[in-house]
Chain A
Amino acid sequence: MSAFMTKSLKKVLGAVAVAAALAGASGAYAAGGAEHPKHVDFTFKGPFGTFDQGQLQRGYKVYKEVCANCHSATLMSFRNLGQKGGPFYDPKYKNPNDNPVVKAIAAEFEVPDIDTDTGEDITRPATPSDNFPEKYPNTYAAAAGNGGAIPPDLSVITKARHGGAEYIYSLLTGYVTPPKGLNVAPGQYYNPYMAGSLATQWDGDPHHVPVGGVLAMAPPLNQGAVTYDDGTPETVDNYAKDVSAFLQWAGDPHTTLRKKTGVAVLIYLFLFGGLTYAAYRQLWHGKH
Chain B
Amino acid sequence: MSEHPSTYDPKTGVEKWLDKRLPIVRLAYDSFVDYPTPRNLNYWWTFGGILSVCLVIQIVTGIILAMHYVPHIDHAFASVERIMRDVNYGWLIRYVHANGASMFFFAVFIHMFRGLYYGSYKAPREVLWILGCIIFFLMIATAFMGYVLPWGQMSFHGAVVITNLIGSIPVIGGPILTWLQGGFAVDQPTLNRFFSLHYLLPFVIAGVVILHIWALHVTGQNNPAGVEIKSKEDTVPFTPYATVKDGLGIIIFLFLFAIFVFFLPNSLGHADNYIPANPLVTPAHIVPEWYLLPFYAILRAVPDKFLGVVAMFAAIAVLFILPWLDTSKVKSMRYRPVMRWFFVIFVVVCLALGWCGAQLPDTPVIPGLPSFNLIDGAFNSYLWLTRFLTLYYFAFFLVIMPWIGLKEEPLPVPASISEAILAEHAKKKG
Contacts of B293 in A (CB 8 A): 27-28
Contacts of B162 in A (CB 8 A): none
If A13-B347, A259-B263 touch, does A30 touch B285 (CB 8 Å cutoff)? yes
Whether a CB of chain B sits under 8 angstroms from the CB of A183 is: no
Interface SS of chain B: helix
Is B258 a contact of A265 with CB atoms below 8 Å? Answer: yes
Is B81 a contact of A156 with CB atoms below 8 Å? Answer: yes
Q: How far is the CB of B120 from chain A (nearest CB, A)?
A: 17
Is B334 a contact of A28 with CB atoms below 8 Å? Answer: no
If A258-B265, A273-B255, A288-B421 touch, does A160 touch B272 (CB 8 Å cutoff)? yes
Whether a CB of chain B sits under 8 angstroms from the CB of A152 is: yes
Whether a CB of chain B sits under 8 angstroms from the CB of A47 is: yes
Whether a CB of chain B sits under 8 angstroms from the CB of A277 is: yes
A23's partner among B266, B276, B351 (CB-CB below 8 A) is: B351
- Complex Cα distance A280/B241, Å? 8
A12's partner among B268, B344, B351 (CB-CB below 8 A) is: B344
Whether a CB of chain B sits under 8 angstroms from the CB of A269 is: yes
Is B337 a contact of A2 with CB atoms below 8 Å? Answer: yes
Is B290 a contact of A27 with CB atoms below 8 Å? Answer: yes
Is B348 a contact of A252 with CB atoms below 8 Å? Answer: no
Is B334 a contact of A2 with CB atoms below 8 Å? Answer: yes
A28's partner among B86, B92, B287 (CB-CB below 8 A) is: B287
If A30-B285, A160-B274, A253-B85 touch, does A24 touch B268 (CB 8 Å cutoff)? yes
Whether a CB of chain A sits under 8 angstroms from the CB of B411 is: yes
Residues 251-288 of A contacting B (Cβ, < 8 Å): 252-254, 258-259, 261-263, 265-266, 269-270, 272-273, 276-277, 279-280, 283-284, 287-288
Contact-size category for A? 35 or more
B274's partner among A16, A156, A253 (CB-CB below 8 A) is: A156
Contacts of B106 in A (CB 8 A): 24
Contacts of A24 in B (CB 8 A): 106, 268, 290-291, 354
Whether a CB of chain B sits under 8 angstroms from the CB of A170 is: no
A262's partner among B81, B261, B354 (CB-CB below 8 A) is: B261
Q: How far is the CB of A133 from chain B (nearest CB, A)?
A: 14
Closest to A271 in B: B251
- Binding stretch for chain A, among B133-141, B179-187, B242-250: B242-250
Is B85 a contact of A284 with CB atoms below 8 Å? Answer: no
Contacts of B360 in A (CB 8 A): 30
Contacts of A162 in B (CB 8 A): 271
- Count chain B CB atoms within 10 A of each CB in A160, A252, A254 and give the residue with the most: A160
Is A16 a contact of B262 with CB atoms below 8 Å? Answer: no
- Count chain A CB atoms within 10 A of each CB in B248, B293, B334, B357 and give the residue with the most: B248
Interface string of B68-97 (1 = CB under 8 A from A): 000000000010011011100001100100
Interface string of A1-19 (1 = CB under 8 A from B): 1110110010011001001
Is B244 a contact of A279 with CB atoms below 8 Å? Answer: yes
Whether a CB of chain B sits under 8 angstroms from the CB of A104 is: no
Is B344 a contact of A277 with CB atoms below 8 Å? Answer: no
Is A16 a contact of B411 with CB atoms below 8 Å? Answer: no
- Count chain B CB atoms within 10 A of each CB in A28, A252, A258, A283 and give the residue with the most: A28
Whether a CB of chain B sits under 8 angstroms from the CB of A159 is: yes
If A16-B347, A28-B287 touch, does A252 touch B272 (CB 8 Å cutoff)? no
- Complex Cα distance A155/B85, Å? 11
Is B39 a contact of A287 with CB atoms below 8 Å? Answer: yes
Is B241 a contact of A287 with CB atoms below 8 Å? Answer: yes
Contacts of A9 in B (CB 8 A): 340, 344
Is B258 a contact of A262 with CB atoms below 8 Å? Answer: yes
Residues 1-53 of A contacting B (Cβ, < 8 Å): 1-3, 5-6, 9, 12-13, 16, 19-20, 23-25, 27-30, 32, 47
Whether a CB of chain A sits under 8 angstroms from the CB of B124 is: no
- Complex Cα distance A153/B289, Å? 25
If A160-B275, A262-B261, A276-B251 touch, does A16 touch B266 (CB 8 Å cutoff)? no
Q: How far is the CB of B141 from chain A (nearest CB, A)?
A: 20
Can you list the 4 inter-chain pairs with the closest CB atoms, starting with the nearest? A262-B262, A160-B274, A27-B358, A159-B274
7 more A-B residue pairs beyond the given contacts A2-B334, A28-B269, A273-B252, with a C-beta to C-beta distance below 8 A: A9-B340, A28-B290, A29-B270, A32-B284, A156-B274, A269-B255, A283-B240
B-contacting residues of A (Cβ < 8 Å)? 1-3, 5-6, 9, 12-13, 16, 19-20, 23-25, 27-30, 32, 47, 74-77, 80, 152-153, 155-156, 159-162, 195, 252-254, 258-259, 261-263, 265-266, 269-270, 272-273, 276-277, 279-280, 283-284, 287-288
